Amino acid sequence: QVDAFYASIILFVGRVWDAITDPMVGFFISKTSWTRFGRLMPWIMFSTPFAIISYFLIWFVPDISTGQVMWYLVFYCAFQTLVTCFHVPYSALTMFISREQSERDSATAYRMTVEVLGTVLGTAIQGQIVGKVDTPCVGSPFFFGLTNSSVAMEELNMTHDTRGLTDTRNAYMIAAGVIGGLYILCALILVLGVKERRESCELQSDEPVSFFQGLKLVMNHGPYIKLIAGFLFTSLAFMLLEGNFALFCTYTLGFRNDFQNILLAIMLSATLTIPFWQWFLTRFGKKRAVYVGISVSVP
């Protein structure tokens, strides 16, 4: 068990590290030579097994008295890096499967639908597996003033706590193994089912651009900066809402054992609305879809 302070530090450092690795991985991908599998597919193929291993080790509890914080910090940052090596080329792949904007928008809608379905499936699997484990909590005896009864009850509580903690660890590891298997299956479907098209010669740059030169070009592009700023504050708002919502359901409403079912219902509702938003942005444009979507989510 890790103290809540150290757990927050691990999550914060992992998020910061993820923000650092995103542009770095994108830069390295742009410098990757074309192979018979494409430019993006090798990153997806070779990052998948290591991402699964690091994800499993996040849920593995090492039998060490000291160094657990460093263990989780290292493997959480490693997992974030490997997921970045998967997700950056996976997201950019939309630009390399077609040259038609309408086809790219349609592919993006299908991709987002499958992503949400995958999130729903992962949430359901881990929530149901871990939710089956119920750590027993034994109350105080009626005659708590008796010394022998107090000692016996304390030993009984320690036995129940140890057994329940072990069952919880095993449940999380089983869930991690199942999700890792789904990770492999989805990666195989992606690699075998999607063909990456080589970019045309007119889109290729004759002069190589360094990382900082490319960063300067991006940061000087006004529309992109406005888009990123809007995405930053919108994402921050939703992340704060997600964290507070989990605490609100668990400790205020008392839905600790049913939180996975609530989260599953939310993800299913998001999945069902994706076709509607795809139709909306096709009919009224992307800007109006963003304005309406954010306005509706505020209340």
Closest CA to 149 of 157, 141, 160, 139: 141
Backbone phi and psi for residue 37, each to the nearest 5 degrees, phi listed first:
-90, -10
Residues spanned by the domain of 247: 221-257
What is residue 264's predicted lDDT score, i.e. its pLDDT?
A: 75
Residue 248 included in any domain: yes
Within 13 A of 215's CA, how many CA atoms are on the CB side?
A: 9
What is residue 125's predicted lDDT score, i.e. its pLDDT?
A: 81
pLDDT in tens, 229-266: 888 888 777 777 776 777 787 777 777 777 777 777 87
Residue 2 included in any domain: no
**SS in 3 state form for 18-49?**
HHHHHHHHHHHHHCCCCECCECCHHHHHHHHH
What is residue 75's predicted lDDT score, i.e. its pLDDT?
A: 92
Residue 230 included in any domain: yes
pLDDT in tens, 238-248: 777 776 777 78
Residue 55 included in any domain: no
What's the structural domain count of the chain?
1
Whole-angstrom Cα distance, residue 4 to residue 1? 9
What is residue 156's predicted lDDT score, i.e. its pLDDT?
A: 40
Note the Cα 184 to chain centre separation in Å: 16
Residue 80 included in any domain: no
Whole-angstrom Cα distance, residue 250 to residue 245? 8
pTM: 0.71
Residue 237 included in any domain: yes
What is residue 1's predicted lDDT score, i.e. its pLDDT?
A: 65
What is residue 265's predicted lDDT score, i.e. its pLDDT?
A: 81
Residue 77 included in any domain: no
Residue 57 included in any domain: no
What is residue 257's predicted lDDT score, i.e. its pLDDT?
A: 72
Closest CA to 141 of 133, 128, 131, 152: 152
Q: What is the DSSP letter of 52?
A: H
Whole-angstrom Cα distance, residue 56 to residue 177? 7
Residue segments in the chain with a per-residue pLDDT below the cut of 50: 135-160, 202
Whole-angstrom Cα distance, residue 149 to residue 142? 9
Contact by Cβ (8 Å): 115, 83? no
Whole-angstrom Cα distance, residue 50 to residue 43? 11
